[in-house]
Every structure is written in C-alpha cells, then in structure tokens.
Structure 1
Amino acid sequence: MESFVISERFAGQVARTPEAIAVSAGATALTYRELDERANRLAHRLIGLGVRQDDRVAVLLERSIDLVVAILATVKAGGVYVPVHEDYPPDRQQWVVDHAEVTVLLADVAMRRGGLPSGVPVLVVDDDPATAGQPATDPSVPIHPDQLAYVIHTSGSTGHPKGVAVTQRDVVRLIFNSQWTVERHARVLMVAPYAFNVSTYEIWMPLLHGGRIVVAPPGRLEPATLRELIRRERITGIHLTAGLFRVLAEESLDTFTGLSEILTGGDVIAPGAVRRVLDACPDIVIRAMYGVTECSLFSAHNPLDASFRPGSLVPLGDAFNDVTIHLLDNRLSPVPNGVEGEIYIAGRGVSRGYFGRTDLTAEVFVADPFGEPGTRMYRTGDLARRNDDGLLELVGRASSQVKILGFRVELAEVEAALASYPGLAQVVVVVRELESGEKRLVGYVVPEAGDVDLGALRAHVSKALPDYMIPAAFVQLASLPLTANGKLDRKAMPEPDFEAAAAYRAPETPLQEALCAIFGSVLEVPQVGIDDSFFDLGGQSLQAMRLLNKIKTDLDVDLLINVLFDKPTVAELAEHIDGAAAAAA
C-alpha cells in the first residue's frame, strides 16, 4: 500500500539509493544516507525540546543545506514547518511566529546576527553542539497522512498574512502525480524564497524521487549567476515566475541551455517568450502552471513543446488528473466554453484552511455541490474561460488580490499598512500596468490636513511589508475620485510620476548619459537625472535584472545586483564603474 506520509516516502528512497547525492551546495554535498542521519539527529533534538505531533516549528535560515535538513527534521519529528521569510521586516516575522504558536524556532548563525523573533525557544542549527550527540536513527514518530506538513503564510485581506495549513497527504499526492515526467526533474535548482509555496516543488520533488536538490547561494541572484549554476550543476528542472521567465527570455536566452523542463506561472505568461525559448532550445518542455497556496501549489498545467504556436495568451491547460476545476457564475452554476467564470478548485490538494482563522476559512472553502457529501472546493477569485479545446485561459481577478513579481498581494493588506501612518484620512492602493506588462503598486493618500511626507510614509510602510508589497509610487490627493453613485472610481486615479524627490541634474559624462538612457528604457521613464534613485523611480527586482543585463549589453560592464542596491543612482553607479575600471588598469 502506498504511503501518504512524507517521511515514510523519504525513508523508502534512502533504502533504495543510500549513496546517491540528495542535496548539494557548492562543493558540499550529502548523500541520501548522510542527509537522513543529519535530519534524524536534529529530529531527536527537536523532540527533546518538546516538539510533538502537529506542533509548529518556525524555520528562519539562509538558503543552504542546513535549511533542507531543518525542514526534513521537523517532518520526521512529527512537527509542522512554518517558513519565515528572511526578507520580511522584523515585525512581520514576529507576527508569523506568534500567529502560528510555534514551539521552537530553528535559525542559523547568519539569521541570528540580524536579530530573531522573541518569545520562543531558539535552536541555532549550525551552532548547537548537543545535536551532534543525538541518535542517527529515525525517531519513528507515528505520523498520519492527514497531519499538517507545513503552514505557509500569504498576503491577507485583513491586514495580516494568512497561514495556509497543508497536509502530508496533499504534498505526497502532488509530488507523485502520474502526469509528471519525473526524470526531467532529476536535478532541481532551489532558488525561490523558501517561505513561498513553490518550495514544495523544489524540495520534495527531487527528494522523494531520488533526485538532487541543488541549493543556490543565499541572497539575490544575478542573471549571470543563475545561468552559470544551471550550466555547471547540470540542472534539469527549474521553476521561474512568469515575469522572471520573460526577462530571461528577452535578455539572457542562453540561461535555458541544458534544461529539460521549465515550470512557469504565477502571472500571465508571455507567448512570445515561450516561443523564443522553444526556438532556441527545442528539446525543452515549458510547463505553464496554475495553482494557489490554498490548494497545495499546483492544480492545473499545460506542457508546451516545440509544436507550440503562440496566440494572444498561453492557456493554463487543464487540471491534474486528481483535481477538478469548476468555472462557475455567481449562482455557482457551470458556465459554457468561451464564457468567463470564477475558478473553484476541488479534489486533491484543497488544504485544511487558514490556521487559526475558521472565519476566513469558511468564506472561501465552501461545500462542493458537485462532489461527495462533506467535500469542499476553494474559491480562488481568479476569472477564466475555456477555449474551444477545453483549456483554461486566465482573464483576470474577481477580488482585490493581485500578483506582483509572481507573489500574491492583497491590496487590502497594503492599504492597512498605509492607513496605520498617522495623519491620513483616506488611502487606496491600485495596480498600474506598464507597456511591458509589468505591474506596479501605487498608493494614493488623502491627508487629514497639510501635506504628507511621502518619504517618511515609504519608510513607515517598509517596516511592515516585504519589498514586493511596497508601492512603487505614492501620490497625495485632496480627495479620492468617486463615481456618480458614490463609489471609488479607480479608473479616475491620476497617473503617478515615477520620479525621485531630488531636483533634476543632467548627465555630465558619456557614461552618465548612457546610464540615464538605460534607466529610462528599463523603467519606462521619459527623463532620468543622475541623482535619481532606481528604486524611487519604481524599480523592483525584475527591472534590476533587466537593468544589469542592459548595462552588460550596451556598456560591456558586469555588475552584481548588490552594487545596484548599495549605489542606486546614476551618479553612484557611474562612480563605481569608473573606480573599478581605474583599479583594473
């Protein structure tokens, strides 16, 4: 009988391939036997600290082999891992730990240096001599398939993140779905933030099938580093957000050489980018993915190969074979092909709900009128239609939730962060789409009196929200525009000027002039001065990648992404480039 328990599946793989490499990071690698023994020791240590079945264990580590060990050990101890995003502001990290009522926080020395959430016992996994003395044998904790495996937090409409509770059974059924071509995922690059749901694929797909996790270095990755990792480590499978996939297809096509399968999704997939990659690498499969954290990551897919002919959009495909996707109208009646309806997901993967929030769970996890008694379906808020071939085509959102850089963002949570700034009478956040298709958040504020210090407002919001949720621009209004019937008129909101607070200063050297032109091209801004900051002009991580690629192409200058974060203005970048050239000479 097949097991639906993660640790039992992993134990079976250890028995089959004990000396195969399970996980590697740079020159360090662990075999399945070595990974099993390290995880067993840490699992015994967790049990000694009081972790019992279904207890939550927070995980706050850099991307590393220790991170994989920590997650596996938590599962072996019968616990539930709760990833805490390393880039979250401290207040948000603390909220996640408090909300999940964690028993232990697993951290590493690097995260300890930056400060850790309080009020919970901390075990620093790479600085704990007691762990090495624990037994290397499996703790043999009895685990039921319907126990929780993890709680991952997503943006919430209440002003706080929501913790999605996913079971062991749901993870195993996803990873062992017969529609995967497993050999294409023999070497998976672990590159996404582990506090988001795609880590389910990056960790468990290779580990439970005898493959290898290749852990990317911690921190932000430049396109050149990603390209080199894929080549050097012979990566076969990778997940890239739709935005990053498009940027790499346009700016760094050779990144994909050698891959067997690319999973992409999280937002609208550019058909031209798919065709461009398939023309360059005809043996690759690009699998368009659709899913939500509430339904255990992936629910629908569309494998695209060299026969793909681009249309106006890339279909999401159809449901995995143990998932049912309904397109329903506002009376929960199915809509015919070609007619827009809201996506409801039933079957495999529908999670337990939101941890500790039965009220929110009841709002969107509803009884399934088409299934067996007692079954539920999840209301996604996504709008779609089926084309003539019966394939799903995403057309928009029915709620205020949006995707920014591939991450889910509830506009209400951003608005709550703005509203907590003193002296504001009204706030609203809207999404602006550039000609390139990239989306940016814009915060509109109405002060109670006088003017708002928009720089101080940005600093205030950055203490509460991760960077991808911080509006790219803030606009002060005397009042919010309303429709004739008194509702907020989002379409009447003025277009923001993505410009820095500094007065315009023209370029003074050919290098500064070239950099100003590159900034303007990438950020779609008509005029850039040498004191304007990349980030004040609305720049985010995807645009940063495009900027660095364009600087390389136009100026033959290689820059690391951390240089841009440290020196975000044209003047500072030009000075850095000139200084590096002088030192090299």
Structure 2
Amino acid sequence: MESFVIPERFAEQVARTPDAMAVSAGAVKLTYRELDERANRLAHRLIGLGVRQDDRVAVLLERSIDLVVATLATVKAGGVYVPVHEDYPPDRRQWVVDHAEVTVLLADTATRGAGLPGGVPVVVVDDDPATAEQPATDPSVPIHPDQLAYVIHTSGSTGHPKGVAVTQRDVVRLIFNTQWTPARHARVLMVAPYAFNVSTYEIWMPLLHGGRIVIAPAGRLEPAKLRELIAGERITGIHLTAGLFRVLAEESLETFTGLSEILTGGDVIAPNAVRRVLDTCPDIVIRAMYGVTECSLFSAHHPLTASYRPGTLVPVGDAFNDVDIHILDDRLSPVPNGIEGEIYIGGRGVARGYFGRTDLTAESFVADPFGEPGSRMYRTGDLARRNDDGLIEFVGRASSQVKILGFRVELAEVEAALSGYPGLAQVVVVVRELESGEKRLVGYVVPESGDIDLGALRAHAKEKLPDYMVPAALIQLESLPLTSNGKLDRKAMPEPDFEAASAFRAPETPLQEKLCAIFSSVLEVPKVGIDDSFFDLGGQSLQAMRLLSRIRTELDVDLLINVLFDVPTVAGLADHLDDAAAAAA
C-alpha cells in the first residue's frame, strides 16, 4: 500500500539508493544515507525540545544543505515547517513566527548574525553541539497523511501575510502524480526563495524520486552564474518565473542548453519567449504551469515541445490528475469555451485553509457543488477561459491581488504598510505594466496637510515590506481622482515619471554613453544621466538581470549583480569597469 507521508517516502528512497548523491552545494555533497542521518539527529534534537505532531518549526536559514536538512528533520519529527524569508524585514519575520505559534526556530550562523526573531527557542543548525550528540537512527514518529507538512505565508489583504496550511498527503500526491516524468528532474537547481511554494518542487521532487538537489549559492544570482550552474552541474530540471524565463529567453538563450525540462508560470507566459527557447533547444520540454499556494503549488500544466507554434496566449493546459479546475461565472455556473470566468480549484491539493484564520478560510475555501459531499474548492481570483481545444488560458486577476517578479502581492497589504506612516490621509497602490510586460507597483499618497517626505516614506515601506512589495515609485497628489459616481478612478492616476534627484549630467566618455543607452533601453525611460541611480529610476531585480545581460552582450563584460547594488549609477559602473580593465592589464 503506497504511503502519503513524506518521511516514509523518503525512507523508501534511502533504502533503494543509500549511496546515491542526494544534495550538493559546490564541493559539499551528501548521499541519501548521509542526509538521512543528519536529518535524524536534528529530528531527535527537535523532539527533545518538545516538538510534537503538528507543532510548527520556523526555518530561517540561508540557501544551503543545512536548509534541506532542517526541512527534512522537521517533518521527520512530526512537525510542520514554517519557512521564514531571510530577506523579510525584522518586523515581518517576527510576525510570521508569532502568528504561526512556532515551538522552535531553526537558524544558521549567517542568519543569527543578522538578528533573529525573539520569544522562541533557537537551534543554530550549523553550530549546535547538542545535535551532533543525537542518534542517527530514524525517530520513527507516527505521522498521519492528513497532518500538516508546512505553513507558507503569502501576501494578505488584511495588512498581514496569510499562512497557508498544506498536508503531507497533498505534497506526496503532487510529487507522485503520474503526469510527471521524474527522469527529467534528476538534477533540480534550488534557486527560488525557499519561503515560497516553489520550494515544494525544488526539495521534494528530486528527493522523493532518487534525484539530486543542486543548491545555488546564497544571495542574488546574476545571469552568468545561472548559466555556469546549469552547465557545470548538468542541471536537468528547473523552475523559473514567467518574468525571469522571458528575460533569459530574450537576453541569454544559451542559459537553457542541456536542460531537459523547464517549469514556468506564475503570470502570463510570453509566447515568443517559448518559441525562441524551443528553436534553440528543440529537445527541451517547457511545461507551462498554473497553481496557487492554497492548492499545493501546481494544479494545471501544459507541456510545450518543438512542435509548438505561438499564439496570442500560452495555454496552461488542463488539470493534473485528481485535480478539478472549474471556470465559473458569478453564479458558480460553468462558462462556455472562449468566455472568461474565474478559476475555482477542487479535488487533490486544496489546502486545509489559512492557519489561525477561520474567517479568511471561510471566504476563500467554499463548498464544492461539483465534488463529493463535504468537499471544498478554492476561489482563486484568477480569470481564465478555455480555448477551442478545451485548454485553459490564464488571462489575469479579478481581484486586487497581482504578481510582481513572480511573487503574489495583495495591494491592500502594501497600502496598509504605507498608511502606517504619519501624516497620510489616503493611500492607493496600483500596478503599471511596461512595454516589456514587466510590472511595477506605484504608490499614490495624499497628505493630511503640506508635503510628505517621499524618501522617508520609502524607507518606512522597506522596514515593513519585502523588497518586491516596495513600490518602485511614490507620487504625492492633492486628491485622488474619482469617477462621476464617486469611485476611485484608477485609470486617471498620473503615470510615474522616474527622475533622479540629482541634476542631469550627460555622458562624458564612450563607455558612459553606451551604459546610458543600455540603462535607458532596459528601464524604458527616455533619458538617463550618468549620476542617475538604476533603482531610483524604478529598476528592480528582473530589470537588473536584463541590464547585466545587455552589458555582457554589448560590452563583453560579466558583472556580478552585487556590483550594481554597490554602484547603481552609470558613472559608478563605468569607473568600476575602467578599474577592472586596468587591473587586468
């Protein structure tokens, strides 16, 4: 009888391939047996600290082998892992730990040095003598398939994140769905922020099928490093957000060489990007994905191969086995093919709900009129239609929830964070889409009186929100525009004019002139001076990736992304490149 418990499935794999490589990070590698033993010791340590079935364990580590050990150890102990993003502001990290009522916090020396949430016992995984003294045998904790596996937090319309509670059964049923080809995921690159739902694929797909997790170095990755990892580590499977996939397809096609399967989604997928990759790498399968955290990551998929011809939209296909996807109107009636409706998901994968928020759970997890008595479906807030072939085409959002850089963002949460700044009478946040398809948040504020220090307001937002939720532009208005019936007129909001605070200074050298042109093209602004900051002009991480790729293509220079954060102006980058060239000479 097959098991729907993660530790049991992992134990079966250890028994089959004890000496196969399970996880690697650079020169450090662990076999399945070694990973099992390290996780067992940490699991015994957690049990000794009082972790029992369904107790939450916060995980706050850099991307590393220890992160995989901590996650596996938590489920072995019968606990529920609660990933905490290392880049969250301190207040947000503390809120997640408090809200989840965690029993123990797992950290490492790097995150300990940056400051940890308080009020909970801490185990520093890479510096804990007591863990090394624990037995390497399996703790053999009885685990039921309907116990929770994890609680992952997403942006919430109430002003705080929502913790989505997913069971062991739902993880196992996703990973062992017969529509996967596990051989294509024999070596998976762990590159996404682990506090988001994609970590479910990056950790459990390889580990429960006898593959290997290859862990990317901690911190931000530039395109050159991503190419190097995929080629050098012979990566076969990877997940990329739709935005990053598009950037790499347009700027760095060689990145995809050698891959077997690319999973992409989280937003509208660019058809021409798919075509460019398949023309260059015809043996690759690009699998368009659709899913939400509330339904255990992936619910629909559509494999795209060399025969694909681009249309106006890339279909996300149809439901995985044992998942039910309904496109319904306002009366919960199915709409005909070609007509837009809202996506509701039933069947396998529907989460238990939002941890500690029965009110929010009742709003979004509704009775399923198409399923078994007592079953539920999740109202996604996403709009879609079925094409003539019956395949689902994702269209966009029906609610105030948006995707920024692949992350789900509730505009209400951003508005709530900005509203906490003193002296504001009104706050509205909207999404602006560039010609490239990339999206930016823009915040509009009306002061109670006088003027608002927008620089101080931005600093306030950075203290409350992760980087991807901080508006790229903040605009002060005398009043918010209204329609004739008194509702907010979002279309009448002025377009942001990204201008640097300093006076314009024209390029003075050929190198500066080339860099100004690259900045202008990537940021989609008409003019850039040599003292203008990339980030003051609205630049975010996807544009940073595109910028580095353009610099490599046009100037034949590979730049580390940290350099851009250190010297974000044309003048600074030009000096850096001149100094590097002089040192090389």
Give the TM-score of the pair, scaled to structure 2: 0.99
Q: Secondary structure of 2:468's match?
A: helix
Cα shift readout 1:79-125 (whole Å, capped 9, x = no counterpart): 00000001111111111001000000000001111111111111001
Residue pair 2:224, 2:558 contacting (<8 A) in 1 also: no
Alpha-carbon distance in structure 2 between the residues aligned to 1:501 and 1:332: 51
Distance in structure 2 (CA, Å) of the matches to 1:120 and 1:569: 42
Corresponding residue for 2:100? Answer: 100
Aligned to 2:370: 370
Please say if 1:475 is aligned against 2:475.
yes
After superposition, the C-alpha distances for 1:350-398 in whole angstroms (9 at most, x for unaligned) are 0000000000000000000111111000000001000000000111211
Deviation of residue 572 (structure 1)?
1.2
Give the CA deviation at 1:155: 0.3
CA-CA distance at 1:265 after TM superposition = 0.2
Aligned match of 1:386: 386
Structure 1, unpaired ranges of 5+ = none
Alignment partners' CA distance in 2, 1:502 and 1:86:
33
SS in 1 for 2:464: coil
Deviations 1:275-302 (A, max 9, x none): 0000001010000000000000000000
Deviation (angstroms), 1:503: 1.7
1:355 aligned residue? 355
How do 1:69-88 residues align onto structure 2 when only pairs under 5 Å count?
69-88=69-88
What amino acid is the match of 1:333?
Answer: S
State the Cα distance separating 1:580 from its structure 2 match.
1.4
Q: Hey, what does 2:306 align to over in structure 1?
A: 306
Equivalent positions of 1:252-331 (< 5 A) are 252-331=252-331
- Residue in 2 aligned with 1:237? 237
Residue aligning to 2:32: 32
**Counterpart-to-counterpart distance in 2, 1:268 and 1:503:** 38
State the alpha-carbon separation in 2 of the partners of residues 201 and 428 from structure 1: 35
**1:501 to partner: Cα distance:** 1.6
Per-residue CA distance 1:373-425 (angstroms, 9 max, x = gap): 11000000001000000000111211000000100000000000111111111
Instruction: Please state how far the C-alpha of 1:449 moved relative to its aligned partner.
Output: 0.8
Identity among equivalent positions (%) equals 88
Letter of the aligned partner of 2:53 in structure 1? Answer: Q
AA in 2 matched with 1:269: I
- Verify: 1:519 aligned to 2:519, yes or no: yes
How many residue pairs get aligned? The number is 585
Residues in 2 aligned to 1:155 and 1:531: alpha-carbon distance in whole angstroms: 35
Aligned to 2:137: 137
Separation in structure 1 between the aligned mates of residue 575 and residue 487 of structure 2, nearest angstrom: 50
1:279-336 deviation per Cα after TM superposition (whole angstroms, max 9, x unaligned): 0010100000000000000000000001100001100100001100001111111111
For 1:521 and 1:398, the matched residues in 2 are separated by 31
**Residue of structure 1 in register with 2:16 after alignment:** 16
Residue identity in the other structure for 1:247: V
3-state SS of the aligned residue for 1:91?
Answer: helix
Deviation string, structure 1 residues 169-191 (Cα, Å, up to 9, x no partner): 00000000000011100110000
Q: Which amino acid aligns with 1:181?
A: T
CA contact (8 A) 2:63 2:215 kept: yes
* Matched letter for residue 374 of structure 1: G
Cross-structure match for 2:181:
181
Distance (whole Å) between structure 1 residues aligned to residue 252 and residue 358 of structure 2? 46
Deviation of the 1:41 alpha carbon: 0.3
Once residues 13 and 181 of structure 2 are traced to their aligned partners in structure 1, the CA distance between those partners, rounded to angstroms, is 18
Take 2:498 and 2:348, find their aligned partners in 1: how far apart are those partners? 44
The answer to whether 1:206 aligns with 2:212 is no
For residue 445 of structure 2, what is the aligned residue in structure 1?
445
RMSD: 0.6
Counterpart-to-counterpart distance in 2, 1:213 and 1:558 = 26
Work out the CA distance in 2 between the residues paired with 1:3 and 1:550: 49
| Counterpart Cα distance in 2 of 1:297 and 1:351 | 10
* Residues in 1 aligned to 2:499 and 2:467: alpha-carbon distance in whole angstroms: 18
SS in 2 for 1:229: helix
Aligned to 2:508: 508
What SS does the corresponding residue of 1:427 show, helix, strand or coil?
strand
TM-score, normalised to structure 1, is: 0.99
In the alignment, structure 2 segments of 5+ residues that lack a partner are none
Q: 8 Å contact 2:188–2:214 — kept in the other structure?
A: yes
Distance across 1 between alignment mates of 2:500 and 2:469: 19
- Contact 2:498 2:536 survives alignment (8 Å): yes
